[in-house]
Structure 1
Amino acid sequence: MLDTQKPPRKKWWTPPFDPRFPNQNQTRNCYQNFLDYQRCVKTMSRRGKNSEPCEYYFRVYNSLCPTSWVQNWNEQIKDGTFAGKI
């Protein structure tokens, strides 16, 4: 979908608590928000709408996920080898 992006230039913030991921380890939260962002962008572009509502997921996964993971996932999406269902 999108190669490398930088978070919007706004003030820094911490992702809010997500009751689906109550534990300290936020790996699943990171991955789920990455998938949600990709799905949101895909859906919005298919409908011909602005992908601004997807910014929330983008900001959350950018603050939770290591950059190297995101780069690898974006490369896998580009190559068509990403294991997640988008």
Structure 2
Amino acid sequence: MSASAPVDPHDKMRARDVNKVARGEQAPRPAHEYGTVSPPPPPSSTNTSNNNKVHKCGAPEKDGELRGSSYQHCYVKYVEYHRCINQKGEKAPECNKLDTYVKSSCPTQWIAEWDRERLDGKFPEAI
């Protein structure tokens, strides 16, 4: 192949890697053995028996209840809404927008639980 011939960028990358291997700057890739599968993770890494977990956003998880990204997103918007009310008042358009989002996207039982925790002074987030 001559230097003036067009080179596919991927081929050029592969050629550079091969040249590095030839110069001893990069280790060659190990040969792939067909039909091999990586071993399973150890049981300790997949253990989910701890029922007293605390969610990333600070809210405690209930036993056996799955709380994913939608829970976290609702929780964050709920906190933002109540902070907005404290800073700007209930009539502020930004607060109304957050209120509409929380009421339309989050289950009412979550909102009721957070309201109850807030009134009891047990809400994990400072508002």
Q: Please, what TM-score do these two structures have when normalized by structure 1? A: 0.60
Q: Bigger relative contact order, structure 1 or 2, given CA contacts below 8 A and separation 6+?
A: 1
Q: Tell me which residue corresponds to 1:5.
A: none
Q: Which residues of structure 2 form unaligned runs of 5+? A: 1-67
* Aligned-pair Cα RMSD in Å: 2.0
Aligned partner (choices 84, 87, 99) of residue 58 of structure 1: 99
Moved over 4 A (4+): none
* C-alpha distance in structure 2 between counterparts of 1:34 and 1:68, whole Å: 13
Q: Please, what TM-score do these two structures have when normalized by structure 2? A: 0.42
**Superposed displacement of residue 53, structure 1:** 2.6
Amino acid at match of 2:98: Y
Amino acid at match of 1:72: E
Post-superposition CA distance 1:45-71 (Å, at most 9, x none): 4xxx84343011111111121101101
Query: Relative to structure 2, which stretch is displaced further, 56-65 or 31-40?
Result: 56-65
SS at match of 1:74: helix
Larger radius of gyration: 2
Aligned residues: 60
